[in-house]
Structure 1
Amino acid sequence: MLAAPKDLAGIRRDVLASLVVFLVALPLCVGVAVASGVPAELGLITGIVGGLVAGSLPGSSLQVSGPAAGMTVLVLEAVTEFGLGALGVLVLATGLLQVALGALRFGRWFRAISVAVVQGMLAGIGLVLLLGQLYTMAGRPQPHSGPEKIAGLPRLAVRIATDRASLTSFAVGATTIAVLVLWRLLPPRARAVPAPLAAVALATAVTAAAGPHVAHVEVRGLLRAVRPPGVDDLGALAGPAVLGTVVAFTLIASAESLFSAAAVDRMHRGPRTDYDKELIAQGVGNTVCGALGALPMTAVIVRSAANVQAGARTSLSRVLHGVWLLLFAALLPAAIGVIPLAALAGVLVHAGTKLIPVKEIRPLWREHRGEAVVLGVTATAILVTNLFEGVLLGLVLAVVKTAWETSHLHVDVRAAADGRLLTVTLTGSATFLRLPRVLETLEGLPKGHPVELDLSPLRHLDHACRTALDTWAARQGATVKGVPIGAASGNADGVRG
């Protein structure tokens, strides 16, 4: 439910904060839609739903939802593969799955995803977004894959240097990036205008006054952009490729939203986020977005941080930001059509660079080298393959790394006083990851000596190790101390004192 401020001062703060968030969200909603390969109005629709629907539901009181740069790459891949008509059903299914996961109290488990995987996911998205939007800044079509984007950069540079139209378009985007970077150096009063809005407005004004021939956003109107999924579209959910995309949408949108909620909670002293309710709120919002054929919705840290920093106290601010987006889209749709595409591409190039945790990589490599490897592999895999496969590889690698680090095993071989009996003591956790080392030690023992295998110090003995030790002991005639080889499987695995 919408929480309203209890005093006029609180209402005034929330209204002012909503205006700030609206000004931040406006260019980002349009830019994310264009970069996703869909009409600009669909980004505004998602922003409106994020404010009016998700903003009025319980969960997190101050974080703001809408179309996110982090979903751009996945949406573009889905639209390219399945067509724009399938977007609504993909988002609708994502929303319903999020509602179900929230109702089953899975919200808290999304926080268990490795931070390195999430950072790698964002870094990979940032790289793909940055590389792709460089082509849009120059008015050129993007190559489809990450390697093709990289390989095409020299040709793109030559094109910019030799073609006047490309150079002009690229200059508009580069100027937009420069404004975004330098905006923070201005006096606080000037920075009251959000940097993305100022950069896009300046680029729009310059191109309108100077009259260079650059591409602009195409405008069809809010109602014409709405395309609810039909019966034929719903039938596409039976395909495994579509279901895989829905799972990817759900995983990434939910993880981004709940990680954003954790970050926003550290910015204020108000009520903490209920992760299960927030997941349901995101799911309801995405269900509505899917029914309208719009972009998927996530909580967005940039808009959420702007909301907190602007002094918001309740969820009224995020609901009102949706109202302002709706009024703008309904009353001033032609204003979108004068925005240069190169300026929006510049905004997204800047957003892409901010997704890459450059400052954190070096200390992470020094202190947690394994986590840095997971981050790097995830980002590289996303760039080389696609978002879903890259994240899946990152998750698998994180699980394997954790299993390897927790399966510490020490093998100690000692000879008795008579020099005949050999005692092999295993200490720690005996898992399949350490099995090659254990077997190598056992098979390297001197032949013809009786062997005692002491398993009593083990904390854990998994089925793979148990089976291998059973086979080796039976073949060598070894005696076993601690865990009886050949006992029932229910007694073989687990924690041992």
Structure 2
Amino acid sequence: MTAQTTTAAASSGGLSKDFFASIVVFLVAVPLCLGIAIASGLPPTAGIITGIIGGLVVGSISGSPLTVSGPAAGLVVIVADIVAEFGIAIYGIIVLLAGLVQVLAGIFKLGVWFRAISPAVIHGMLGGIGILIIGSQFHIMLDRDPLSSGIQNLMDIPSGLIETFASHGGNIYAAITGLITIVSIVLWTRYAPARLKLIPGALIGVVLAVIVANVFSFDVKYLTDLFDGPTNLQNILGTIITPTLSTAEASMTAGVLLAVISLAFIASAESLLSCAAVDQMHHGARTKYDRELMAQGLGNTICGFLSALPMTGVIVRSSANVEAGATSRASTILHGIWLLLFISVFLFTLEYIPVATLAGVLVYTGYKLAYPKVAKQLLSYGKAELGIYIITIVTIVSFNLLAGVVTGLLLSVAKLLYVFSHVSIRAEHKTHSDRTILHLKGSATLLGIPKLVAVLDRLIAGRDVHVQFDDLEYIDHACIELLSGWQKQYQLTGGKVTIEWDSLIGKYHSKEAMAASS
């Protein structure tokens, strides 16, 4: 077999794997695209349009070939707030401008900075979003309208259950539909045969719930009830609102600017973190972060122009893509083609899909986001990281997403400043000798000099002082100069000073430390 034949065979094998993977990703994407759109306050097909753009446009130029882009549950809260506050027309302008911000960030090579966000803040953001999704979608799963705030939604869950199951004032059929969906997803995820694991649990849950609801003629809301007219392509295209000069002029406010920056920041952070996670799942090409940021920005610019959902790189679809054996970006592009085929040919299926089953998918998704499995890992890095995580979640749920993220970032900066300014100095006096050991722990910087001077000034003259750096994480030039000068002065009083300069090598590589040790 020639090298050319071998290459062709490998290419053919890769394409067949990508074809199969694209089917799997498509099946994962459909219920999530529809459900996230509904949860965001937009027409169900707004999510499908975003999925198409994510597959065909972003998939073709992305910096992470195996990452799948589309509507993200992590943006539900911020999108719903923007739509409620500004209306659908200005919402489109906000998404468009957020996309342009992402493009500029990629051009100026800011992609790597989004990876510098503390994991505690990111996990706290996802956890807070998950709790808010559970609160709002739980009511939709009961065919009830969600309330105006996250706290109210959470507090009203018991009364919603009582109304539905005890007083029979709610729609028990919607509750059963949602319950079937969630239970099916859980059971499939845990007990499905290994050879069938690639079939997404969300698809199994939706299919079973659709069958039960239609066979037994459940009196529940269906997706077609969310449309004003017939569910056909012409009516779907009629829901698209493109920006006009008047809406652009009305968008020039501080509130809109804040929404643009917030959306661009959160979408970029979630996308690039998803890409980083995907890189750990395969051995192929690594992510080009700035290129990915520009691709996401272009996708969101188009989505904003069409008033569709904003997109990010999505870890659920991306992991399904990798696990299904995808080898190139062909899988992502093909999944976009299948979504286009769905919205063009198979829209009639929407009349059979209960709203409650998609809400059930999102309740389960919210649970997966909110489940505190990461808390133990964060605690291993210190109580401060766990504290930032918890405070970020509480702030998001109590106020809003932006307030929570900003609070988490400020706490991370405060922790960083504390770490780089906090130094502990302990003097250990040996009782049966004139020896004193100084233990320095933490970071000895300019800010810690007053504390260091206070300890040195209290030392009794004439002792044998040993300065140890075993527990020191960092020392700057100012502290090195201080210790070096004090050493000379103390020795003039008849004392002896031994400073373990050699232990700094590897912790603080500086000519000053080397010179001081000589």
Please tell me the residue identity of whatever aligns with 2:335: H
Instruction: Show the counterpart of 2:400.
Output: 386
Please tell me the residue identity of whatever aligns with 2:57: V
Partners of 1:5 and 1:340 in 2: CA distance? 45
Instruction: Show the counterpart of 2:125.
Output: 121
Please tell me the residue identity of whatever aligns with 2:403: E
TM-score, scaled relative to structure 2: 0.80
Q: Does 1:171 align with 2:166?
A: no
Instruction: Show the counterpart of 1:186.
Output: 192
| Cα shift readout 1:5-31 (whole Å, capped 9, x = no counterpart) | 962221111111111110110010000
Q: 2:206 aligns with which of 200, 206, 210?
A: 200
Please tell me the residue identity of whatever aligns with 2:70: G
Partners of 2:378 and 2:295 in 1: CA distance? 34
Indicate the SS of the match to 1:63: coil
Equivalences for residues 139-154 of structure 1 within 5 A: 139-154=143-158
Partners of 1:413 and 1:327 in 2: CA distance? 74
Instruction: Give the deviation of 1:79 after TM superposition.
Output: 0.6
Q: Contact conserved, 2:125 with 2:405, CA < 8 A, in 1?
A: yes
Instruction: Show the counterpart of 2:378.
Output: 364
Instruction: Show the counterpart of 2:314.
Output: 300
Distance change >3 Å, CA 440–CA 167, structure 1 → 2: farther
Partners of 2:204 and 2:426 in 1: CA distance? 68
Partners of 2:9 and 2:330 in 1: CA distance? 8
| Cα shift readout 1:147-184 (whole Å, capped 9, x = no counterpart) | 21222223212212222642221121111000110102
Instruction: Show the counterpart of 1:419.
Output: none
**Which has the higher mean CA deviation after the structures are superposed, 196-205 or 393-402?**
196-205
Please tell me the residue identity of whatever aligns with 1:163: H
**Which has the higher mean CA deviation after the structures are superposed, 185-194 or 332-341?**
185-194
Q: 2:36 aligns with which of 26, 32, 37?
A: 32
Distance change >3 Å, CA 355–CA 458, structure 1 → 2: closer
Instruction: Show the counterpart of 2:76.
Output: 72
Instruction: Give the deviation of 1:413 after TM superposition.
Output: 9.7
Instruction: Show the counterpart of 1:404.
Output: 418
Instruction: Show the counterpart of 1:420.
Output: none
Q: CA RMSD in A?
A: 2.9
Percent of aligned positions with the same letter in both sequences?
Answer: 42
Q: 1:275 aligns with which of 289, 300, 306?
A: 289
Q: Does 1:256 align with 2:262?
A: no
Partners of 1:288 and 1:84 in 2: CA distance? 15
TM-score, scaled relative to structure 1: 0.83
Distance change >3 Å, CA 78–CA 496, structure 1 → 2: farther
Q: Does 1:330 align with 2:334?
A: no
Instruction: Give the deviation of 1:201 after TM superposition.
Output: 1.4
| Cα shift readout 1:448-469 (whole Å, capped 9, x = no counterpart) | xxxxxxxxx972679xxxxxxx
Partners of 2:69 and 2:163 in 1: CA distance? 38
Instruction: Show the counterpart of 1:211.
Output: 217
Instruction: Show the counterpart of 2:161.
Output: 157
Please tell me the residue identity of whatever aligns with 1:25: A
Q: Contact conserved, 2:38 with 2:44, CA < 8 A, in 1?
A: yes
Partners of 1:234 and 1:411 in 2: CA distance? 60
Instruction: Show the counterpart of 1:105.
Output: 109
Q: Does 1:62 align with 2:66?
A: yes
| Cα shift readout 1:370-413 (whole Å, capped 9, x = no counterpart) | 11001001111000000011100100001101111121235689
Q: Contact conserved, 2:60 with 2:329, CA < 8 A, in 1?
A: yes
Partners of 2:250 and 2:10 in 1: CA distance? 48
Partners of 2:446 and 2:135 in 1: CA distance? 42
Instruction: Give the deviation of 1:124 after TM superposition.
Output: 0.3
Q: Contact conserved, 1:5 with 1:313, CA < 8 A, in 2?
A: no
Please tell me the residue identity of whatever aligns with 2:110: F
Instruction: Give the deviation of 1:118 after TM superposition.
Output: 0.3
Distance change >3 Å, CA 62–CA 396, structure 1 → 2: same
Instruction: Give the deviation of 1:78 after TM superposition.
Output: 0.6
Partners of 1:146 and 1:8 in 2: CA distance? 50
Instruction: Show the counterpart of 1:480.
Output: none
Q: Contact conserved, 1:87 with 1:294, CA < 8 A, in 2?
A: no
Indicate the SS of the match to 2:194: coil
Q: Contact conserved, 1:222 with 1:330, CA < 8 A, in 2?
A: no
Divergent runs of 4+, >3 A: 189-192, 410-414, 425-432, 437-442
Instruction: Show the counterpart of 1:14.
Output: 18
Instruction: Give the deviation of 1:440 after TM superposition.
Output: 13
Q: 1:236 aligns with which of 236, 242, 250?
A: 250
Indicate the SS of the match to 2:34: helix
Partners of 1:17 and 1:260 in 2: CA distance? 18
Distance change >3 Å, CA 70–CA 496, structure 1 → 2: farther
Unaligned runs of 5+ in 2: 1-7, 429-438, 459-473, 480-510, 514-518
Instruction: Give the deviation of 1:189 after TM superposition.
Output: 3.9
Q: 2:329 aligns with which of 300, 305, 315?
A: 315
Indicate the SS of the match to 1:53: helix
Partners of 2:129 and 2:426 in 1: CA distance? 47
Q: Contact conserved, 1:165 with 1:213, CA < 8 A, in 2?
A: no
Partners of 1:140 and 1:376 in 2: CA distance? 30
Unaligned runs of 5+ in 1: 415-424, 446-456, 463-494
Distance change >3 Å, CA 206–CA 461, structure 1 → 2: farther
Indicate the SS of the match to 2:101: helix
Indicate the SS of the match to 2:476: strand
Instruction: Give the deviation of 1:138 after TM superposition.
Output: 1.1
Instruction: Show the counterpart of 1:342.
Output: 356
Partners of 2:332 and 2:30 in 1: CA distance? 13
Equivalences for residues 428-443 of structure 1 within 5 A: 429-430=444-445
Equivalences for residues 126-137 of structure 1 within 5 A: 126-137=130-141
Instruction: Show the counterpart of 1:376.
Output: 390
Indicate the SS of the match to 2:278: helix
Partners of 1:431 and 1:224 in 2: CA distance? 64
